[in-house]
Amino acid sequence: MGRTASIQDDELMTRLGTAFRDFGYQGATLSLLAEATGLQKASLYHRFPGGKEQMAREVLEAAQSWLEDHVLGPLRSSGDPAARLAAMTNKVDEFYAGGRQACLLNMLSSGRNIDGPFAAAIKGMFQAWISAFAAVAMDAGADKKAARIRAQRVIALMQGSLVLSRGLGTPQPFRDFLKSAPAELL
Amino acid sequence: MGRTASIQDDELMTRLGTAFRDFGYQGATLSLLAEATGLQKASLYHRFPGGKEQMAREVLEAAQSWLEDHVLGPLRSSGDPAARLAAMTNKVDEFYAGGRQACLLNMLSSGRNIDGPFAAAIKGMFQAWISAFAAVAMDAGADKKAARIRAQRVIALMQGSLVLSRGLGTPQPFRDFLKSAPAELL
DNA sequence: GTCTATAGGAAGATAGAC
DNA sequence: GTCTATCTTCCTATAGAC
């Protein structure tokens, strides 16, 4: 204890992220966030003077970095399109805990947030992901328009399979998505 | 004013439903619900002694009736599978306001509600919708297993296209879904 | 950097008049 | 059946000790 951090920065962000993904922005109360991180509310305010909104913003930025490093990067690498997709698929599976964890982009899209401080970041991440998929599809021989349509469809399938997994109480829909994703895109 | 209802029951349910779909369960505060319906909080409690939870439950039940009447019913009717799908598609387009309105099943799936009073109803509605789609696919010649997989995929696509429409700020993904849905299923 | 304690306000819910 | 007024609880945020 004392002057030294009781929780590492990336572990802190991970736990905050999990809370926002499980409960949404309004559902993730400061008490809940405190319990999830093992810190007291006042300690959270020390690290995030902007309060809950800043926490969510930084979680979103961390997700953006994760997306760049583990999804967009690998998708841009050279090599067989199918292999690039496979490399990404494993990371995505991990990230969504095999379908048991919701997507932050969905959970932060509700209500006032819709034209709030998260809207631009969410839109940008969706667009970047779609563009990266479309590029892979084009490398596999699809024309520009078809590639874009397929890419958007795969993202919709992913999001929908996560919604369905939560609603049905089983990760099966997400598993099905992961298995079919390469074929859908290529 | 006085002793007579200032808002009709179905209009009341529609407005409550819209509020829950726009803001989610936690985001739809009683003040917001009061403003959305034109009633005061105390008036809402008169009609829903169980408070917000009862409101959400009854909205969910109304959605269940709507699903039965405008989706499951038409899908079960006799006739060309493609025609049955088309009849339903128009209603779905209306219901989701062309992609501008989120799905209640997604918006009520977060947080504590996950094993709360809505989970069973949500699961049941997803299952019923999937089963109805699967039956149509089988009528169109698919075998049982393939029909079920395709049906689940179409539901995932629908949910995901709604998520994406919100995230991108344009109803285009949902429009694309509606156009491609029959081909996806048959 | 973390904590306890608390201020200030919004949220859910109720009482009682009309 | 709807309203104004109010109660209680919870939430966001801050103060100040260690």
Burial class (CB in 10 A: 0-12, 13-18, 19+), B69: exposed
Nucleotides of C under 7 A from a protein CB: 1-6, 10-16, 18
Give the per-residue pLDDT at A7: 95
CB atoms inside a 10 Å sphere around CB B70: 17
Q: Which residue of A has its CA nearest to B152?
A: A173
Tell me which protein residue sits closest to nucleotide C16, measuring alpha carbon to C1': B42
pLDDT confidence of A114, banded at 50, 70, 90?
A: confident
Mapped onto helix, strand or coil, the DSSP state of residue A34 is: helix
Mean pLDDT of chain A: 96
pTM equals 0.97
The mean pLDDT value for A105-121 works out to: 89
Give the per-residue pLDDT at B143: 98
| Cα–Cα separations (whole angstroms), residue A145 to A7, A138, B178 | 47, 9, 18
One pLDDT digit (tens) per residue for chain B, 186 residues: 567 999 999 999 999 999 999 999 999 999 999 999 999 999 999 999 999 999 999 999 999 999 999 999 999 999 999 999 999 999 999 999 999 999 999 999 987 777 788 999 999 999 999 999 999 999 999 999 999 999 999 999 999 999 999 999 999 999 999 999 999 999
Task: Give a three-class secondary structure readout of B10-69.
Answer: HHHHHHHHHHHHHHHHHHCCHHHHHHHHCCCHHHHHHHCCCHHHHHHHHHHHHHHHHHHH
Kindly list the residues from chain B whose CB atom is less than 8 angstroms away from the CB atom of residue A23: 26, 110-112
Residue A135, pLDDT > 80, answer yes
Residue A28, pLDDT > 90, answer yes
Residue A180, pLDDT > 90, answer yes
Kindly list the residues from chain A whose CB atom is less than 8 angstroms away from the CB atom of residue B110: 22-24, 27, 102, 107
